[in-house]
Structures are given as structure tokens and as C-alpha cells.
Amino acid sequence: MATPVKMPRLGESVAEGTVANWLKKEGDWVERDESLAEIITDKINAELPSPVAGRLTKILVKADETVPVGVDIALIEENADVTASPPAEAAPGPDAAPVETPNQATIPVIEQRTVAPAGGNGASAVPQQARPERIGEEERQRISPLARRLAREHDIDLNAIAGTGIGGRVRRDDILAYIAARSQREPVTAAAAVTQAAAPARPAPPTPPPPAVPSAPSMKPEPAPAAPPAPTVAGEDEEVVTPSRMRLAIAEHMVRSKRTSPHATTVVEVDMTNIAKWLEKHKDEFKKREGYGISFVPFVMKAVCEGIRQVPLMNSSWTEDNKIIIKKRINLGIAVATDLGLVVPTIHDADQYTIAGLAKQVAAVAQRARANKLTIQDMQGSTFVVNNPGTFGTIISVPIINQPHAGILSMDAVVKRPVVIEDDAIAVRSMMYLCLSFDHRILDGAGAASFLQAVRTKLQSYGREIDVY
Amino acid sequence: MSEVTYLEAISQAIREEMRRDEAVFLLGEDVGTYGGAFKVSAGFLEEFGPERVIDTPMSEAAIIGSAVGAALMGMRPIAEMQFIDFIASGFDQIINMASKMYWRSGMPVPMVVRGPSGGGTKGGPFHSASPEAWFFHTPGIKVVVPATAYDAKGLLKAAIRDNNPVLYLEHKLLYRMPELREELPAEDYVVPIGKAVVRREGQDMTILTYGAMVHQSLKAAQTLEEEDDLEVEVLDLRSLAPLDREAILESVKRTNKVLIVHEDTLTGGIGAELAAILSEDLFEYLDGPITRVAAPDAPFPYAPPLEAAYLPDEEKILTAARKLAAY
């Protein structure tokens, strides 16, 4: 009996994943928990451990293909004895996996379903349209009967909804909130559709016929994804780039954040001279001793924890039913630039660490991020984000909130500037701007300013000797 | 008008009905000279005489059997079980005679079997029964369970005037409970059989319950409002056979979550039937599993700590309700 390997659910709201790479070939022997493949979702990249030990007899989903969560992507023969197994000779590489099995034919080509069509995706996809929807719904086990009915009546794709019940179950209130949110959105999409229709200037290729769901003449307004924009065509001196999934995820999040939270930004200037001097003196020795580096970042994180302690609203979320949830744990997201784009892994309970401890955590998540080894844990539960564009030399930034947080803090470059100090003397000091974007629904300028004051006071409280442990 | 207890309300109902209708009479163990084990019929013998207030031998089969015979002859007997547990000895007369008579021969059997049921009084395995499910299952019998003094009187009057055999289950824990004292209407009234009543309104969940558990459920609902910001509706079924399906479905359709609470044991209890009805009729209105809080499937214990562990109470209701709310 072959054991199927299924596309895992990497995160509660994730409905599908892409096989980035097969790390094993057909015919290879794998141990239990040995990595089989790299999986990419819009939330996280992860290696897929083998559920059993055995021989990988069949790869069902090729590299770069995307399938819904729960779909079989490979078969492993547990009892495959070595001699009886298919010859490994000319074992097909990951790209050559056979596509003929009936199962396979039903695997949708995702780019079509969630991600906006990047280009006419071949006619072969059309007849497959009916199935993926069903797989998606069956897969989504945790739905109350009422929620299921409401979703059907309101034409809602349940995979688009994050459940708030136990185990992520979708319940009545989730659907109602979604409907309310959608009805606010709807005029916008409708308007967009109109503009499109009224702009026939583009040499749009014949729009592919709508998916072959039998109800062709339905006049019902379809949910948003049903009105795809006309495909972009590169003009002269132009090049069309198809964004990566990560880029698309970031784009979606940024638009949603700006639409969700009324951003206000406020800036304070912090004298980092003592910290700068300490770093200058101890940085190399610290790294040699500890095996990881230290920078301004852990100092700022420490100070942010202090600020949150004084202004707990900074560590909260505005909910869809117009409540504010104050988070008791301080889990700081830290923005890390990687080759693929920006990721924001979480340092849980950041307030429980010393400065050195924070430096260690930052080094660890940054390393995992760059090596593409972030875990689901890393990507969940952050309550506030610290961003450090200063490493790129910027002096003032206006960050966009990482939803559903109340704020995000940007630390910009620490630069030496002549500053007027006590007794009107002028001195050269290491100065830094801290820019806080905050959700104006949750708090006002006064609250934001007192948070920044607390952060600044903490950062300026260090003397020449600093105990980072 | 003075406030009366649940027990006095029962007593009033019988007395008034006996005054109103000569066909009504009371029979049972110690109901006459002694005035009833709980003093429901204190003073009745003096007022109505030994022909209408009959002390019987210790035989429930004889008490119920005599009542069936009297009812067939046009009387309206009220047969008292000293403790409802003993109804088992008269089971045959109820199941094979009273319930089937009209079906079989077209002769109505207008009688009431009533008695103290329920636990919480440290009465042990023979004085704490909740026998409703045995009779609930049997076509041809009505089963009512009052939770307040008003209902105790109104439902008993309705039961006495009904032309079918009615099992009237009073809860002995409620008999003299001070907080159940209430002023009753001076004029004659009945509470119609087959009508539930909303004891507390809410949108987040419905508790379906009856008898003494109405009060535990109301306490839990209050706590859930204060501590969890949940508005819980409490529907007192009052009548188990027939059930007020309309009221049940209406409430659950609105709240989408339902908790069933009864003192009787779980398996094959009233809750099982309610769950089946809801699942059949309202499946797509349910936003969480139909949940039951009931006594465990074990005989009623004697030891006080075991009795406390055995009986459903506010705490157990809260636990179940919170789980259901979060589902």
C-alpha cells in the first residue's frame, strides 16, 4: 500500500501550497521525517518531512506546481523491497514527473484561482475548473453547519475566511463579519470593473470564456475574483514582470493595511551616543565571545518593550466588531530583508530577554529567514513590529503597519550631528530618528507620543557602561 | 395576597380543583390522616372527607390501577406517589392500561399521577429519581414538569382538567425554596400543557431545560453575562410530552447554539430527543454541536460528595456553555 504524501497546511488560513523543489527523486529511499520537498506558500516556506519511511514511488505534483492543501503530491511505498522497486535508472528529475494519472488531471493550476491571471494560462485549465472548489471545501473541515449554509447562500469561498472558533473553525460570526467587510469593499470592485470595461483602448486578447460551470447566464453578481482584469501586455520599451508569490502577498498585505488602518506617523529624535560608543568599543569582542553580533536593534527592542509597558494600547488590535484587544504578551516582529522580499519573523515574549538575549534571537531569526528556514511558529503571533531601514542609510521612514497591529516603529540611521545640548553648548552626538506609524482608530497623537517618549527615555538612560546581560 | 411556596401552590391547585369538581379526588400513601409525606394534602381529609382523600395500602400498582378504573368510570383521580421512584411498581398500569386505553377502546382516562421527584436532598438511590424519560418515550401519556410556583399551580390544574393521563413531576428540592415564593393570581388560571416559556432572553445560545435545572441554568446565564459577555436564552420546557416544538425551534433558529440541561441521566434522556429534533429540523442553523449537560449514566448516589459530583449544576453548565460558545 502506498502512503500518499499530502500538501500540508502551513498556517491556519493557508489554502494551498507550491512545490518549490523536490529534494528526492522517484525511486529514492526516504526515512521518516526526512525532507522530501520544499513547499512555498504565501505565508511561509518550509521543508516537507516524509510521513513514513519507504520508497518514493511517485511524484504527483511537479516542482512549481501549486495545489490545494490536502491534495496528494507524492506516493511512498512503505514496504517496497529494494529489488522490486522500479529501476532508479534514468530516474526522472523533478521536472520530469509523469502527469498522466487521473488524480493528477484534477490538480488545478493555481495561478488561476487565487493569484490574478498573469497571462492566458492555456485552454487545458478550463475543463478542470469545477473540481478545485470542491476539494477546497472538503478540505476545510472545521465549518459549522450554519456557516456552511450562509457561505453557500452568500456565494462565499470558505477558504477566503479565517475562522475564529476553536481550531480555526469558521462560525456564523466569521461569515457575517466577512459579508459586512465585503459589502464595504464591493462598490470599489464594481467601480474598478466599470473602468475596465470602459477602457477598450488596450488590445486585449479575446477574454477566455468564463469557467465552464454550467450556469452560464447567471446574472448574480459574482464575488470579486470573478472579474479578472484584462491581461497586461508589455508595450514598446516595457517589460512585464510577474511578481513572485511573496511579492504578491506583500502587495496584498500593504494594500489591505492601508485600507484597514488610518495611518498617522510621528517622529522623535533620540540621542544614541552612549549606545553607539558602547557598540563601537564592545561589538567585535561581543561577537567573538558570543558567536552572534549586536547592533542598535536589540537596544531599541528593549526600549519598545518598556514603551509598550507604559502604553499597552500600542500592543493591541482593532477588531472587526469594533473592540480593541490588548495583547498581554509582547511578541516583537522584526523586519528582515531577504533576497526574495521582506519577512517579519516574531520574537515571542521579547520583554523577557536581556539586550544580549534579544541580539541572539534577532540573529537566529534573521539567519533562519535568509536560509529560508522560518517555521510557522516564527511567522505567527507578533504584536508589534520594529523595522530597521536605517541599515540602508535612510534617516526618516514612514512605515506601513503590519496588520492587525496598532503600530510599527522604524529606526533610521544613527548619524553624527551637531546638536544643541545643555547650557546651549553645541556638541557632536549620534542621533537617530524613530518613526512610529500608528492606527489612529486605536490611539491618538498623545498616546503615540508618550509611547515614543518612553522609548526615547529608555534609550537615553544608558550611561557609558552598559550591562547587556 | 401572600406569597406562596411551590408546595403550597400544588396544594392550592388540588384543593381548588376538588372544590370545583366533585369528580376530582386524591389517593395515595399517607395522603389522608398524615396529610401527605410532604404535607401537600394537610387538612384535606377534614375538608373533603375519607371518600375523596383516600389513604391506600403500600402498593403503587393498586393506587394507579384504582385510578385508571375510577377514571374509566368518569372520575378524575389524582394518584400520589409518596416518592416518584416508587412509580416503577405501578409501571404496568400506566404503560399497558392508562396510556393505551383510549387508543384501544375509545375510553378516555382523565387522571393525574404526581409525586416528588429529583435529587439534591441527599435522598439516595430510592428517593431521588427523575423518571421522565421512561414515560416520555410512551405514547398516550402527557408529562409536565413545573419549575415555579405559578406553573406548579397552573400546570396541575391543566393536568387535572385534561382528558388524558398526565404524569405531573414536582421537584422536591423546590417545594419550600424561599426564592420560589411568589404571589399567585387570585382568580382561577391554568398553564396550558405543551407550552414552553422563555425565562431569560438572549441571542448567543439557547439553554433548553426544565424542572430544578431551570434555576441552575438561570444562574449560569447570569454568570455568563457578567463574566463572558454572553447573552444566553433560557427556555423552560415545562411540558415534555407534548414538547413545544415551535418555541424550541424558534429560539434555536435565532441563537444557533443550543445547550440541553437535565437532571436525569444522559443516555436516552429528554436531551437525546431534543438533539434529534434539532438536528433533523435545524441542522443548517446550528453554529456548534448540540451539547448536553445531564447526570452520568449511574444510579443516584447516596454520599453527599458523590451526589454533588453527580448532579448537574451551575459550574457544569458554565463549563459546557463556554466550550460551546468558543466552538
Q: How far is CA B25 from CA B16, B43, B63, B77, B107, in A?
A: 11, 14, 12, 5, 19
Per-residue model confidence (pLDDT) at position A31: 87
Chain A CB within 8 Å of residue B285 CB: yes
Angle at alpha carbon of residue B324, lines to B266 and A328, rounded to 5°:
140
Per-residue model confidence (pLDDT) at position A155: 85
Q: What residues of chain B, 119 to 178, have a C-beta less than 8 Å from chain A?
A: none
Mean of pLDDT values over B40-51? 97
To the nearest whole Å, the CA of A149 is away from the closest chain B CA by: 6
Q: Which residues of A touch B284 (CB under 8 A)?
A: 145-146, 148-149
pTM over 0.90: no
Contact B286 A147 (CB under 8 A): no
Q: Which residues of A touch B288 (CB under 8 A)?
A: 144, 165, 171
Separation of alpha carbons A322 and B178, rounded Å: 43
Indicate if B127 belongs to the active site.
yes
The 3-state DSSP class for residue B132 equals helix
> Regarding predicted confidence, which is higher, B11 or A197?
B11
Per-residue model confidence (pLDDT) at position B138: 96
Selected residue of B287, B322, B323 to mutate for chain A interface (largest A Cβ count, 10 A): B287
Q: Which of B127, B171, B215, B262 is catalytic?
A: B127
Q: Is the pLDDT of residue B293 over 90?
A: yes
Nearest to B149 by CA among B39, B5, B1: B5
Contact B283 A144 (CB under 8 A): no
Contact B285 A145 (CB under 8 A): yes
Question: How many Cβ pairs closer than 8 A exist between chain A and B?
Answer: 30
Mean pLDDT of chain B: 97
To the nearest whole Å, the CA of A404 is away from the closest chain B CA by: 21
All 3 cell numbers of residue B163? 382528558
To the nearest whole Å, the CA of B261 is away from the closest chain A CA by: 22
Nearest to B211 by CA among B279, B143, B159, B122: B143
Cell 388540588, located at residue: B14
What is the ipTM for the molecules in this complex? 0.73
Percentage, residues of chain B above pLDDT 70:
100
Contact call for residues A405 and A385 (beta carbons, < 8 A): yes
Give helix A172-197 / helix A145-153 axis angle, nearest 10°. Answer: 20
Q: How far is CA A232 from CA A225, A235, A369, in A?
A: 17, 9, 32
Active site residue ranges of A: 440, 444
The domains located in chain B, with CATH, are 3-183 (3.40.50.970), 197-325 (3.40.50.920)
The pLDDT tens digits of the residues spanning B79-124 come to: 999 999 999 999 999 999 999 999 999 999 999 999 999 999 999 9
Q: Which residues of A touch B286 (CB under 8 A)?
A: 144-146
Per-residue model confidence (pLDDT) at position A400: 95
Q: What residues of chain B, 71 to 90, have a C-beta less than 8 Å from chain A?
A: none
CA dihedral A244, A246, A247, A252 (to 10 degrees): 130
Q: Which residues of A touch B287 (CB under 8 A)?
A: 144-147, 171-172
Chain A CB within 8 Å of residue B229 CB: no
Per-residue model confidence (pLDDT) at position A206: 44
Instruction: Please list the ranges in chain A whose pLDDT falls under 50.
Output: 82-140, 188-226
A172 → closest Cβ in B256, B283, B326: B256
Interfacial residues of A (vs B; Cβ cutoff 8 Å): 144-149, 165-166, 169, 171-172
Q: Which residues of A touch B203 (CB under 8 A)?
A: none
- The DSSP 8-state label assigned to residue B85 in this structure reads G
Selected residue of A146, A148, A173 to mutate for chain B interface (largest B Cβ count, 10 A): A146
Contact call for residues B259 and B206 (beta carbons, < 8 A): yes
Separation of alpha carbons A141 and B242, rounded Å: 37
**In the beta sheet, which residues pair with residue A203?**
none
The pLDDT tens digits of the residues spanning B253-290 come to: 999 999 999 999 999 999 999 999 999 999 999 999 99
Per-residue model confidence (pLDDT) at position B282: 94
Per-residue model confidence (pLDDT) at position A371: 83
For chain A, the three-class secondary structure string (H helix, E strand, C coil) is CEEEEECCCCCCCCCEEEEEEECCCCCCEECCCCEEEEEECCCCEEEEECCCCEEEEEECCCCCCEEECCCEEEEEECCCCCCCCCCCCCCCCHHHCCCCCHHHHCCCCHHHCCCCCCCCCCHHHHHHCHHHHHHHHHHCCCECHHHHHHHHHCCCCHHHCCCCCHHHCECHHHHHHHHHHHHHHHHHHHHHHHHHHCCCCCCCCCCCCCCCCCCCCCCCCCCHHHCCCCCCCCCCCCCCCCCCHHHHHHHHHHHHHHHHCCEEEEEEEEECHHHHHHHHHHHHHHHHHHCCCCCHHHHHHHHHHHHHHHCHHHHEEECCCCCEEECCCCCEEECEECCCCEECCEECCHHHCCHHHHHHHHHHHHHHHHCCCCCCHHHCCCCEEEECHHHHCCCCCCCCCCCCCCEEEEECCCEEEEEECHHHCEEEEEEEEEEEEEECCCCCHHHHHHHHHHHHHHHHCCCCCCCCC
Contact A145 B283 (CB under 8 A): yes
To the nearest whole Å, the CA of B327 is away from the closest chain A CA by: 5
Contact A146 B286 (CB under 8 A): yes
Q: A165 to chain B: nearest residue by CA?
A: B327
Q: With cut-offs at 50, 70 and 90, classify the pLDDT of residue B2.
A: confident
The pLDDT tens digits of the residues spanning B31-42 come to: 999 999 999 999
Mean of pLDDT values over B305-317? 97
**In the beta sheet, which residues pair with residue A462?**
none
Chain A CB within 8 Å of residue B283 CB: yes
Separation of alpha carbons A58 and B65, rounded Å: 76
Per-residue model confidence (pLDDT) at position A105: 37
Contact A169 B284 (CB under 8 A): no
